[in-house]
Structure 1
């Protein structure tokens, strides 16, 4: 029955468009090594909830967060209910951002169902090292940038970024001092947040590196209802250390 669903394009697209969970299991099942944990199901639900404008996910290592959010979600956001047109993945370093886009390219090249339902695609890298994937049939652009390169002024035709995923934008070195933590927060609020518009969804994901890290400051802002950081927003705390799917 499962293979029958996978083999019929209209059926699998109908199911996948309406559920990120089922998209992941239909198209990205090769990542699933264990039964999907409850916190991963909740993660998939939260990232696709239209009422959550900004989501912060503080996760443990090997939780599958990057596979789910940085590899699978941009593809689902292109064909699923989100209908996003300009997806931006932001990392701390150029090596990280290139790896994130390479993971998506690998799916486009080697995943048979992804090839059938997403092709053609164009890949480009400019002189600044900024990489991008364009899905012309869907009118979607997925771009990966790093803090090192700068993120200001990004546009795709008439579209400003409508899904921004910040994955591991701080590390143990940058959170070590108060000055470093202040810089992280100033960059996020001063450069990253202004990239969006009223319909932009922000997802910030990472590990807990410090109780005063960017992730924890965003959490505090959401819980206090601080302007610009707290309107109709939600946070996912660390999940219990049991089970993993990817």
Structure 2
């Protein structure tokens, strides 16, 4: 429950927002009535144009004056909602994708202006009652102070207030706010039961830690809340990003009849899903700051359980031996594919073996072009020569094709030599099995990370991928895959030499059969 001070601050913020809405939505007084009617007809069928016209205070950057139009997935979702009055849906959109703005404000206001009445009672559900009321305040501000909307469709405000969790427009569309778990029974306005229910970011980090709480809340959603509809008729929508596999959103998406739309900040081709809002450089900076696991959860709808295979306490940093003490040093390259996007990670890992200990010495783990990785490899080769370090170079045989080696050849021609890369021609078992099989080396302390690389972003990115690795993961696993290749090469010549198996009866020390 909000404190008195918090309530006062919320009221002040709302009043300031209302002033912004009113100031930004001035009407064109030179527009003729014919032009106005033609425009309204067009905006009823064009969601992106509807948003641009009525909500410049949401879409225009006040500093640059540049408009940020709707993304294609916004338009697709709005059209889907408009065309299906009984839609049951989950819009699993990444953080920052304007989920609340569209589903809580723009879409219901678009439904209200259609020639056929599309909405009678809206219920907005948030994490708490106060949160839901605040969300409801956004749409009331628009209906009460948006001059363009009022000019085209008449005065909207009638009575009630978002602070009380409900209000009604002059056209008798009712709006209610409810917090998660709060009783929704009896919600109606006159003869109308709810026909547009939107559940906004119901999950949070604390909730998803408790399977029992998630199960109880999901039961509330599909029974008490869903039961507010008139026999299941109406639009019932859940929006959020997938922060955990055990979540209300995940369970809702698991229902076969629910339409699910998943939007990640990168689409399946590696392009920015909302390119009008973010540049590729901005998204890369977000990932750099957030880190691999947080970025996957918040922006890629890919929650990863840390320690599913590898654990953080198994990551050991230590002083490496002198270079002369290594019996062998290997650089293993996982270049992905030449034609792949910069969203794909490229990995090159330098490992060394001293006694029975495996040292992780250097790393390249980046979202980059193959050319950038190749330059790093050549730089590393020259550095190793200066240090007097002998390195064996490997790359998976599948990548030892002209399309990949072109980059190595091109760089080699510029530098006057070619890297001595050998193909890893082994018939590899399943990737998960291969990487899981080497995890005991970390657990038993046989893997040590060069402590001089503690702050190296590539080394840290590789560790993030290693800790995130699990069966069926949708995230990147290029780093642990390259680690497995390097370790296999380092242990290839010694793994079978210490013990020669033989068949027959076992004997004791006196060579007497047991």
TM more than 0.5 = yes
**1:215 equivalent in structure 2:** 249
Which of 224, 244, 261 does residue 236 from structure 1 map onto?
A: 261
Counterpart in 2 of 1:63? 97
Compare 138-147 and 154-163 and name the one that shifted more.
138-147
The answer for the alignment partner of 1:111 in structure 2 is: 146
- Write the distance in 2 (CA, Å) between the matches of 1:234 and 1:124: 33
Q: Aligned equivalents of 1:159 and 1:122: distance in 2?
A: 17
Which has the larger displacement, 213-222 or 75-84? Answer: 75-84
How big is each residue's C-alpha offset from its partner over 1:126-147, in whole Å with a ceiling of 9 and x where there is no partner?
9xx64222122x2211222222
Distance 1:150 1:39, change over 3 A: same
In the alignment, the residues of structure 1 paired with residue 126 and residue 32 of structure 2 have an alpha-carbon distance, to the nearest angstrom, of 33
Q: Does 1:84 align with 2:119?
A: yes
User: Using a 3 Å threshold, how does the CA distance of structure 1 residues 24 and 193 change in structure 2: closer, same or farther?
Assistant: same
C-alpha separation in 2, matches of 1:57 and 1:5: 37
- Structure 1 residues 71 and 51 mapped into 2: Cα distance closer, same or farther (>3 Å)? closer
Deviation (angstroms), 1:240 = 3.5
Is 2:58 aligned against 1:31?
yes
Offset at residue 153 of structure 1 (A):
1.2
**Contact 1:52/1:234 (<8 A) preserved:** no
Does the alignment pair 1:18 with 2:45?
yes
- Deviation per CA, 1:220-239: give whole Å up to 9, x if none: 112xxxxxxx2xx4111133
Q: Distance in 1 between matches of 2:138 and 2:85?
A: 28
* Match in the other structure for 1:165: 198
3-state DSSP of counterpart to 2:168:
strand
Q: Distance in 1 between matches of 2:206 and 2:214?
A: 10
Per chain length, whose mean CA-contact separation is higher, i.e. which structure has more relative contact order (CA < 8 Å, sep 6+)? 1
User: Structure 1 pair 148/178, CA: closer, same or farther in 2 (3 Å)?
Assistant: closer
Residue deviations 1:24-65 (CA, integer Å, cap 9, x gap): 222123322424322222222233231762010111111111
Query: Does residue 131 in structure 1 map to residue 165 in structure 2?
Result: yes
> Match of 1:203, SS?
strand
Cα RMSD for the two superposed structures: 2.6
Partner SS state of residue 237, structure 1: strand
Determine the C-alpha separation between the residues in 2 that align with 1:37 and 1:120: 28
Say if 2:122 and 2:174, in contact at 8 Å, map to a contact too: yes
Contact 1:85–1:159 (8 Å) recurs in 2 = yes
Q: Which runs of 5+ in 2 are unaligned?
A: 1-27, 60-66, 267-271, 278-514
* Shift, 1:5, TM fit: 7.4
Unaligned runs of 5+ in 1: 223-229
TM-score after normalising by structure 2: 0.42
